[in-house]
Amino acid sequence: MLRVGLLGAGRIGKVHAQTIAAHPGSRLSAVSDALPEAAQALAGAFGASVRGTDEIVADPDIDVVLIATPTDTHSDLIEAATAAGKPVLCEKPVDLSLARARACQVAAAATGQPVMIGFNRRFDPNFSALKAAMQADEIGKTELLSITSFDPAPPPVSYVKVSGGLFRDMMIHDFDMANFLMGGLPQTITAQGAALVDPAIGAAGDVDTAVVTLSYADGRLAVIKNSRRAAYGYDQRVEVLGAKGLLQVRNMLENTVVRSTAEGVTGAKPTWFFLERYMSAYQAPVRWLRVAPWRWQILIHDGQGLAQLEGSMGGIV
């Protein structure tokens, strides 16, 4: 039985707690949070104890530490947990500072403990199937990748100010998807962005609408489109054009009913937000905790867990 110590009892921490509890090979042993009442509520729901962060990290009975705290705490917690001999699963990104993230990479690697970064969309069954089709050469050599990621509504400006902005908070997932599907890192990155949805986001120094073009050493291209607003729901689509055809991942809809009448043909809207769309993908990284650590994916010691941050920093112009 894998005993997991959870740092962070917020929205994502709750998702991870449910996943840990649902897996027959893992148990939520302890929870910590800056808000004691949040930690108590989550721990009580799953039969875990409430502990301080330092206690969880140092406890020899904790097998794995899962970090779901605010981003500005990630590097320090990764270093503390790995120094204590604990494998780590950490929410993205490692840090908002690339220099600090690289220092964390060096420190964690020196301990020999694996650190997996939670870029969960790789584990979405639709994107996994798309990747498998590419590897099976179903459409020949890839020529153009297009990723569309539109949120249904912008976050509060208070969140924008501390999140790292659209590139490091939102598009970072799409950089990871591009790396995953294209099988490597881009040679060049160009970006354009604007504050078209909410002027307050622009006043906070961020953009809410952006287009990024990635070019690869072999000539392949990728385009990523992000917006903080799509009135119809959470728009998550991927297209891959190859020499022999096209692969697509379409939106997941609220339901599959299609209404055909004299007035026209209508269907359901996309699911509203990321928890509905990617719940199965959130569950997968926790399942990976049961796999031998040297087989974990998206590790920081080999650079995979930092490549997305490097790409997102390249997109800040």
Q: What is the pLDDT of residues 169-200, one digit of tens each?
A: 999 999 999 999 999 999 999 999 999 999 99
Helix (H) or strand (E) holding 305: helix 304-314
Does position 272 have pLDDT exceeding 90, yes or no?
Answer: no
To the nearest whole number, what is the mean pLDDT of the chain?
89
Does position 83 have pLDDT exceeding 80, yes or no?
Answer: yes
226-245 per-residue burial string, b: 16 or more CB within 10 A, e: under 16: bbbebeebbbbebbbbbeee
Do 7 and 17 meet the contact criterion of CB atoms below 8 Å apart?
Answer: no
Measured distance CA(170)–CA(145) in Å, rounded? 18
Measured distance CA(289)–CA(118) in Å, rounded? 12
Q: Are strands 221-227 and 209-215 parallel, antiparallel or unpaired?
A: antiparallel
* Better-scored residue on pLDDT, 217 or 256: 217
Long-range CB contact pairs, 83-87, < 8 A, 24+: 83/107, 83/111, 84/57, 84/58, 85/111, 85/113, 86/5, 86/57, 86/62, 86/113, 87/63, 87/113, 87/114, 87/115, 87/116, 87/289, 87/293, 87/296
Do the domains spanning 2-118 and 122-281 agree at the CATH topology level? Answer: no
Ordered by start, the domain boundaries in the chain are 2-118, 122-281
pLDDT at 304: 59
CATH topology of domain 2-118: Rossmann fold (3.40.50)
In this structure, whether the domain defined by 122-281 belongs to CATH 3.30.360.10 is answered with: yes
From the number of C-beta atoms within 10 Å of its C-beta (0-12, 13-18, 19+), residue 291 rates as exposed
Confidence of residue 119 (pLDDT cuts 50, 70, 90): confident
Does position 313 have pLDDT exceeding 90, yes or no?
Answer: no
pLDDT at 294: 46
C-alpha triplet 167, 110, 6: angle, nearest 5°: 60
Measured distance CA(241)–CA(151) in Å, rounded? 24
Measured distance CA(285)–CA(16) in Å, rounded? 9
Confidence of residue 314 (pLDDT cuts 50, 70, 90): low
